[in-house]
Amino acid sequence: MESHQDILKQAQEKVLAALSPAALKEIEREFLGKQGAVAGLLASIPSLPAVQRRDVGKNANLLKKAIQQALAERGEALAATSLSAERKGEGFDPSLPPASLMTGSLHPITQVTRELEDLFLSMGYSVIDGPEVELDWFNFEALNIGRDHPARDSQDTFYCDEAGKFSLRPHTSPVQVRAMEKLEPPFRVVAPGRCFRNESTDASHEHTFHQMEGLVVGKDISVGHLIGAMKTLLRGIFHRDVEVRLRPGHFPFVEPGFELDARCPFCNAGCSVCGRTTWIELLPCGLVHPKVLQMSGIDPEVWSGFAFGLGLSRLVMLRYGIDDIRHLLGGDLRFLEQF
Ligand code: DAH
């Protein structure tokens, strides 16, 4: 039988003569593979006289390590040679930029949502979440929108069962109810998220869109608090003071209810964004209806609150000058790559 030394010598010679990584693999197989020389040595141990066994085993392991090391060193040398050959070769241009990495970016809705979350967190609000498939109770009933209420028509959504118990939420307002049922007043929360409506789509309507709901419950909450919070919000979004006005608006879960308009941040005398009126319809809001507080277990004699529903999709469109809501969730990379 060949000695360890002989095997090592043979292996080292072959390794030094190898000219490619493939040749090294072949040598590795020959010496270290299942049928290789080292395996042969190990297999012979049981048939050896007991006194030799230990030494043969030990040497076989040393041999294996030595061959592995020779292979690794030669591998590195080959890689270095091939790199320097490539560099010296024709057509190598060190000034070429490296292959570009494909990096993604955050969706504009995610960017604006995170910015608003930070803003509200700095104002002492908590950010909360609610389900997208929602019970009729939270979507409508507990918001004072009974079975036959006409507001169900303008908020027609996708129903998930024959009985109409579950549906995709048509607004983020159900999270208000979940908050009132769960939290002890006083509290302030915002709830951003996806909403769905059974809607014919056009440049300003989409079956899936985003809102951010806001709810503040405390003692002696008034319209003044609402206006103050909205002005702070607008200052955060547009980085300056923005004039606001309230128009009456009807939503069954607030009383009184308003449409809050902001002075157009893009012009002084009217532009295409504000339809030449200098006002932009920004968000519906109001003081929480006492009946809604009561239904969620909050005593309207002690507590009051205000709520608002910020159209995130609309805000993103305003911010980036996007003229068609269908771009937002269309998934077209030519659109998304711009953010
Ligand atoms: N949830 C309403 C909608 O999507 C918007 C809304 C109106 C939300 C008034 C509010 C509110 O919180 O106070 O049509």
Residue 36, pLDDT above cutoff 80? yes
Using alpha carbons, select from 333, 337, 312, 313 the residue that is nearest to residue 323. Answer: 313
Please give the single-letter amino acid code of residue 285.
C
Round to whole Å and give the CA distance between 318 and 214: 20
Q: Are 208 and 196 in contact (CB under 8 A)?
A: yes
Inform me whether the pLDDT recorded for 2 exceeds 80: no
State the Cα–Cα distance between residues 307 and 254, nearest whole angstrom.
Answer: 8
Say whether pTM exceeds 0.75: no
Tell me which amino acid residue 20 is. S
Work out the pLDDT band at 86, boundaries 50, 70, 90.
confident
Q: Residue 80: helix, strand or coil by DSSP?
A: helix
> What's residue 79's pLDDT?
92
The 10s digit of each residue's pLDDT in 94-117 is 888 888 888 889 999 999 999 999
Tokens of 131: 């389900």
3-state secondary structure of 5: helix
Write out the DSSP string of 196-265: E-----BTTB-SEEEEEEEEEEESS--HHHHHHHHHHHHHHHHSS---EEEEE---TTEEEEEEEEEE-T
Probe target for ligand 1 pocket from 171, 212, 282, 287, with the most ligand atoms within 8 Å of CB: 171
Given CA atoms 63, 67, 70, 72 in this order, what sign does their dihedral have?
Answer: negative
What's the pLDDT band for 1 if we cut at 50, 70, 90?
A: low
- Mean of the pLDDT values across residues 65-86? 92
- Per-residue pLDDT reduced to its tens digit, 177-207: 999 999 999 999 999 999 999 999 999 899 9
308 lines ligand 1 (CB under 6 A): yes
Identify which of 253, 255, 260 to mutate to test ligand 1's pocket (most ligand atoms within 8 A of the CB). Answer: 253
- Whether ligand 1 lies within 6 angstroms of the CB of 230 is answered as no
3-state secondary structure of 282: strand
What is each CA distance from 109 to 123, 127, 129, 201, 311, in whole angstroms?
21, 16, 16, 19, 11
How is residue 127 annotated by DSSP? E
With 90 as the cut, is the pLDDT of residue 239 above it? no
